[in-house]
């Protein structure tokens, strides 16, 4: 019992202490993450009109304000497409995979944020 406590405090404590701030996105809200990673394609308000949505691109980024479009996706599909990219839902690979960039928790948070944007 006492040994277990010792292990938790003295070994795991510092591990958490050092590992957490190492993530540069530490403390970022879903809104912050959206602004940093998604706005460049999906636009400042999520309407699919970010600076990367140029005329030369073959596919427009999804309009995240469109309940009509976003209702087609289940929560699981939204999480899957953010984790694994457009290919995961048979869409364009222009939608990148973020599983190496964002934690599962952050992706879950973004799913909630997208549901707020589309009100759906």
Candidates 67, 88, 97, 120; binder of another protein (CB under 8 A) is 97
Q: Are 82 and 38 in contact (CB under 8 A)?
A: no
Cβ partners under 8 Å of residue 38, min gap 6: 46, 50, 110
Q: What is the DSSP letter of 51?
A: T
Q: Is there binding between residue 28 and another protein (CB under 8 A)?
A: yes
Among 2-10, 62-70, 94-102, 110-118, the segment contacting another protein (CB under 8 A): 94-102
Alpha helices by DSSP H, the chain: 2-6, 13-22, 30-33, 39-42, 67-70, 75-84, 104-118
Q: Residues in the site for another protein, rule: CB under 8 A?
A: 21-22, 24-25, 28, 32, 36-37, 39-41, 44, 50-54, 56-57, 92-94, 96-101
Q: Which parts of this chain interact with ligand HEC (CB under 6 A)?
A: 37-38, 40-42, 52, 59, 61-62, 73, 78, 81-82, 86, 89, 91-92, 94-96, 98, 110, 114
């Amino acid at each position: 019992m006492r040994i277990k406590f010792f292990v938790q405090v003295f070994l795991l404590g510092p591990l958490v202490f050092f590992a957490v701030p190492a993530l540069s996105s530490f403390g970022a809200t879903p809104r912050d993450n959206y602004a940093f990673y998604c706005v460049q394609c999906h636009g400042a308000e999520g309407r699919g009109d970010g600076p990367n949505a140029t005329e030369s691109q073959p596919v427009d980024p999804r309009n995240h304000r469109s309940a009509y479009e976003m209702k087609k996706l289940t929560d699981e599909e939204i999480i899957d497409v953010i984790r694994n990219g457009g290919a995961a839902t048979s869409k364009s690979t222009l939608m990148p995979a973020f599983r190496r960039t964002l934690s599962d928790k952050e992706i879950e948070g973004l799913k909630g944020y997208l549901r707020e944007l589309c009100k759906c």
